[in-house]
Amino acid sequence: MDLSSTTPIRTPDTDSIASPTPDTTSDPTPVLGPCAPLRAGSGRIHVAHVAGRSRVIRNQASNPLKLWVPRRPGPASWIYTTTFGGGLVAGDRIEVDLDLDPLTTTVLTTQASTKVYRSLKDRGCSQQLQARVGDRATLIVAPDPLVCFRGAIYQQHNRVHLADDASLVHIDWLTSGRSARGERWQFQRLATRLEVIRGGTMILLDSLELVPREVALENPLRMGQHHCLATVVIFGNGLAEAIESVRRGVADQTDDPHDGCLESASPRHEGLILRLVGPNTQAVGKRLRQRLAFLADHLQETPWERKW
C-alpha cells in the first residue's frame, strides 16, 4: 500500500503557510509575558545553563496545568506536563511558555497519554506551546500519544522559535481513540498546527485537521486498518548525522516488515519530516524508538526508557 493513500483528510502541504479554519483557540500570539499574571491552565518555564548542566530556574503553573521537574541524570532538563483529572475536558485551555537559554537541552514530555474527554455543545479544549530556543540549544518535544474519546473536540497549536544554530525534535502522535471500547475515529474534530520559525522566517508550517463525520477514516483510501498516526519533525545542523540516519533507515526499510507500519521521510533544508502510521500504539511506538535511538547520545537515555 502506498503511504499517500493512507494520509488523513485535510492535510495541507507543509510548504504552504495558509491558515487553518479560523478558531479563537488557535491565536498564535504569545499568551504569556515574563511578568503577566498566570491565567487558568497556563505555565511558564525558563531553562538556563548552570554548572555545565541544563537547569529549570523558573517554573510556574496554574490549575489545571501541572509542571513537574524531576531530578534526572545527564545534562538535560526534563519537564513533564500533566493536568488534574487525568485529561482535558470541554473548556480547558492549556498554554505553556518555554524559554531555553543558549547551550541548554530540554525534554518536554508527559506522564502518560493525553486524554481528551467528550465535548458538550460543540465546546472543545485546546493546548498551545510557545517556545524560544537559544543558540546551540536543543528542544525535544516527546509527549505520549493523544487519545480523543467519542465526541471530543481538540485543537493544538505549537510555535517554536529557533536561534540560528538551535535544534528541534518534535513528536506529535495520536490514536483513533479507545479502540478496546470500540471507539475508532469517533471524535468530532481534531486540529493540530506546528510552526517552526528561524531568524524571523517560517521554515515549516505543518497542520492537520480530522473530521471523521465528514469522511469515514476507516476507508481503505484513508486510514484503513491503521489506528495510530505519528509525525516527527527534526531540524538543526547539530543533528545532521541523526537526520541522515533516519532518512537512510526509512529508505532501506530494514525494520520489521510484519509490524504493519508504513512510513515516509521528507528531507528539508537542514531538517526532515518523518510520517508514520501503524495498526496500534505499540507498533508505532516501537518504530519511533528505533528511528529516534540517537536521542540517547544527547540525553544519556531516551524519553521512553522509564515509561515502557
Q: Which residues pair with 232 in a beta bridge?
A: 171, 274
Query: pTM (2 decimals)?
Result: 0.86
Q: What is the pLDDT of residue 72?
A: 85
Residue 247 covered by a domain = yes
Decide if 184 contacts 177 (C-beta within 8 A): yes
Residue 143 has pLDDT above 50, yes or no: yes
- The bridge status of strand 42-50 relative to strand 53-61 is antiparallel
Residue 122 has pLDDT above 90, yes or no: no
Tell me the per-residue pLDDT of 128-137, one tens digit each, with 9 for 90 and over: 999 999 999 9
Mean pLDDT score, 201-221: 89
| 220 band by pLDDT with thresholds 50, 70 and 90 | confident
The least confident of 71-85, 105-119, 193-207 is: 71-85
Nearest to 161 by CA among 140, 135, 130, 127: 130
Residue 3 has pLDDT above 50, yes or no: no
Residue 304 covered by a domain = no
* Ordered DSSP codes for 232-256: EEEE-GGGHHHHHHHHHHHHHT-S-
Residue 31 covered by a domain = no
Question: d(Cα 27, Cα 32) in Å, to the nearest integer?
Answer: 12
Cell 528542544 maps to which residue? 139
Q: What is the pLDDT of residue 33?
A: 54
Residue 22 has pLDDT above 60, yes or no: no
Q: What is the pLDDT of residue 1?
A: 40
Higher pLDDT, 27 or 214: 214
Question: d(Cα 26, Cα 258) in Å, to the nearest integer?
Answer: 39
**Residue 100: half-sphere exposure toward Cβ, Cα within 13 Å:** 33
Residue 23 covered by a domain = no
Q: Measured in whole angstroms, how far is the alpha carbon of residue 262 from the centre of its chain?
A: 19
Residue 22 covered by a domain = no
Residue 268 covered by a domain = yes
Higher pLDDT, 98 or 251: 98
Residue 83 covered by a domain = yes
- The grid coordinates listed for 64 are 489545571
Residue 14 has pLDDT above 60, yes or no: no
CA angle 180/183/189 to nearest 5° reads 145
Alpha-carbon distances of 96 from 50, 145, 193, rounded to whole Å: 23, 18, 15
Tell me the per-residue pLDDT of 223-280, one tens digit each, with 9 for 90 and over: 888 999 999 999 999 999 999 999 999 988 766 667 889 999 999 988 999 999 999 9
Question: d(Cα 80, Cα 237) in Å, to the nearest integer?
Answer: 27
- The grid coordinates listed for 109 are 514530555
Count of CB atoms within 10 A of residue 179's CB?
16
Higher pLDDT, 9 or 261: 261
Domain range for 141: 3-17+37-299
Q: What is the pLDDT of residue 84?
A: 86
Q: What is the pLDDT of residue 35?
A: 60
| 11 band by pLDDT with thresholds 50, 70 and 90 | very low
Mean pLDDT score, 8-31: 40
Residue 281 covered by a domain = yes
Number of folded domains in the chain?
1
